[in-house]
Amino acid sequence: MTKKLLPFALPVLLLLFWWGITETGSVPALLLPGPAAVAERFMTLLASGELLHHAATSMLRVFSGFLISASIALALALLVSRSERLFDFLSLTLEALRVIPPLSLVPLLILWLGIDEAPKLAIVVLASFFPIYLSALTALSKARNDYRDLARIFGLSEKDAARHILIPGASPGIITGLRLGFGYAWRALVGSELIAAASGLGYLIEDASALARTDVVMVGILTIAVLGIICDKLFRIAAERAAPWTSARKAAASDDEKTPGGQQPTRTADAGREPPEALPGIEIRDLTVSYPGLAKPPVSNLTLSLPGGKVTAVLGRSGCGKTTLIKAISKLIEKKSGSIRFTGGKEAPRLSMVFQEPLLLPWKTVRENVALSLIPECGESALHDPRVSEALALVGLSSRAESFPGELSGGQQQRVGFARALAADPEVLLMDEPFGALDALTREELQDESIEVFSRRRMTVLMITHDVREAVRMADSAVILESDRAPEVFAIDLPRPRRLSSPGVAKLEEEILSILMRR
């Protein structure tokens, strides 16, 4: 209750201060009428209909101009966010217009458009356009950049990406821009009505000021304030409804909270799947990948053969090109030269990816996030595809299917990302340090779960990791990448489960670590 009443504390104090200085006669009533006089004038203007007339006129103007401005700003932001050339083409002109105060244009607008409604609408449009446009452009660009790889990996079309990722992801920022834009529109309108108008709250204030009727001036000012608060509250309600996930419980659930028996798949392991020898391998020949501005490419003349149906771990120091390699294989970045070919008669096998960060969409439930990988194949029916439930069962999260990501712990979020990749039924699974950000216990738990999944769902797995122990525990072979050397490949022919105390595991781990530590 105290928290709900706190916003009213300062207004009450200001009201008491206002009442005190007017009751004591410290300020003449002509300059500052007391609260009682203002309340009496408010009731008089309300009863006569004059206040409602002026308020309705101003609201009609501000909403009309605001809707025009928002439509133009949002459409332009969507176009500019998709084209750097369009951004460059418009940026200088828009920046010049942005710094010009809209009210400074009133004389010209009256000259060009007359003294009717057009100049007032133009002022509202100009005042509210840039807060809406810049907020929307920033939000759209951020959503596009944050989830670009996610959309490309799962093959989402531009339409699907906009519907499921871009617009929902940008909606909180867009609504914030609309709130700001409406505030600017409201202020600019009242300012323009003070200069040139025959109706509206600005006109009411200006007319009363000329006649020294300060009680009417105060009524007009307070009416503007109250209407502004109401409109802002409506925008906040709209923002909460547009982003219901923000009110989800933020306290993360325990990593140990899992569906009983959740590790058991709902179908027979490998049912209807190809034997390991039929799964695609990856042949890399003289691969070079470079980035603009880098003198030395992170991947240079790399030749490597990865077997089908096996788990291959790629290790190496930071900067040796591990993530670059996996992005080149997934076509998230373009190679400069060389070739990447899938063997086993599969030119374009089903490919999926588990990212370093879960890259979950916070506005979608766990089930909806997992179904995202099936949208290109199934469209809107993806949500009800049995593969979604099967993937959630495999990672032990069936009971959290209707939760939002914000309600999950870090380990559970990574499980959802894993389930999303598995739902696409991949023949090739790429894993880019998926457990690197987790604590040691959660990381070990997810390693065990992944090993169990790989034993049930045969696929070709390429896993990037910095953790030698993780590679030895999980992989069938390990590849060590070094910038100036040919890759070294280690076969890991150790029985499972692999105990860390096993002499064979410890020996291989030490051997790989010694190579990584050499200068």
pLDDT reported for residue 497: 81
Burial of 130 (0-12, 13-18, 19+ CB in 10 A): buried
pLDDT at 425 over 50: yes
pLDDT at 253 over 70: no
* C-beta separation of 98 from 130 below 8 A: yes
pLDDT at 239 over 80: no
CATH superfamily for domain 276-350+426-517: P-loop containing nucleotide triphosphate hydrolases (3.40.50.300)
Burial of 68 (0-12, 13-18, 19+ CB in 10 A): middle
pLDDT at 271 over 90: no
In the chain, % of residues over pLDDT 90: 52
pLDDT at 4 over 60: yes
pTM: 0.80
Q: How confident is the model at residue 310 (pLDDT cuts 50, 70, 90)?
A: very high
In whole angstroms, how far apart are CA 252 and each of 332, 406, 412, 446, 450? Answer: 32, 7, 9, 17, 22
Closest listed residue to residue 262, CA positions, set 454, 449, 496: 449
Q: How confident is the model at residue 255 (pLDDT cuts 50, 70, 90)?
A: very low
Name the token pair of 262: 């959740």
CA distance 61 to 410: 49
pLDDT reported for residue 263: 43
**Residue found under tokens 């194949």:** 377
pLDDT at 421 over 90: yes
pLDDT reported for residue 284: 94
Mean pLDDT calculated for residue range 259-287: 60
pLDDT at 396 over 70: yes
* Tens of pLDDT, residues 337-388: 999 999 987 778 899 999 989 999 999 999 999 999 999 999 989 999 999 9
* C-beta separation of 177 from 135 below 8 A: yes
pLDDT reported for residue 105: 84
Phi and psi angles of residue 495, each rounded to the nearest 5 degrees, phi first: -65, 155
* C-beta separation of 374 from 382 below 8 A: yes
pLDDT reported for residue 260: 40
In whole angstroms, how far apart are CA 276 and each of 281, 346, 386, 396? Answer: 10, 13, 24, 25
pLDDT at 501 over 80: no
* Tens of pLDDT, residues 444-463: 888 888 988 998 888 999 99
Q: Where in the chain is the domain with CATH 1.10.3720.10?
A: 53-242
Would you tell me how many other CB atoms lie within 10 Å of the CB of residue 252? Answer: 15
pLDDT reported for residue 375: 95
pLDDT at 41 over 90: yes
On average, the pLDDT of the chain sits at 87
Lowest mean pLDDT among 79-93, 428-442, 500-514: 500-514
pLDDT reported for residue 268: 37
More confident residue, 197 or 121: 121
CA distance 450 to 380: 29
**Residue found under tokens 């916070």:** 362
* Tens of pLDDT, residues 398-408: 999 999 998 99
Q: Where in the chain is the domain with CATH 3.40.50.300?
A: 276-350+426-517
In the chain, % of residues over pLDDT 70: 92
Would you tell me how many other CB atoms lie within 10 Å of the CB of residue 183? Answer: 17
Angle made by CA atoms 76, 82, 86, in degrees to the nearest 5: 65
pLDDT at 413 over 90: yes
The runs of H, that is alpha helices, within 104-250 are 106-113, 118-153, 158-161, 167-195, 201-210, 214-242
Cβ within 8 Å of residue 25, ≥6 positions away: none
Q: How confident is the model at residue 226 (pLDDT cuts 50, 70, 90)?
A: very high
Q: Read out DSSP for 403-455?
A: S-GGGS-HHHHHHHHHHHHHHT--SEEEEESTTTTS-HHHHHHHHHHHHHHHH
More confident residue, 211 or 499: 211
Burial of 31 (0-12, 13-18, 19+ CB in 10 A): exposed
CA distance 79 to 310: 44
What's the distance, Cα to Cα, between the start and end of the chain in Å?
64
Mean pLDDT calculated for residue range 253-268: 41
pLDDT reported for residue 398: 93
CA distance 282 to 349: 11
CATH superfamily for domain 53-242: MetI-like (1.10.3720.10)
Angle made by CA atoms 422, 148, 243, in degrees to the nearest 5: 85
pLDDT reported for residue 459: 92
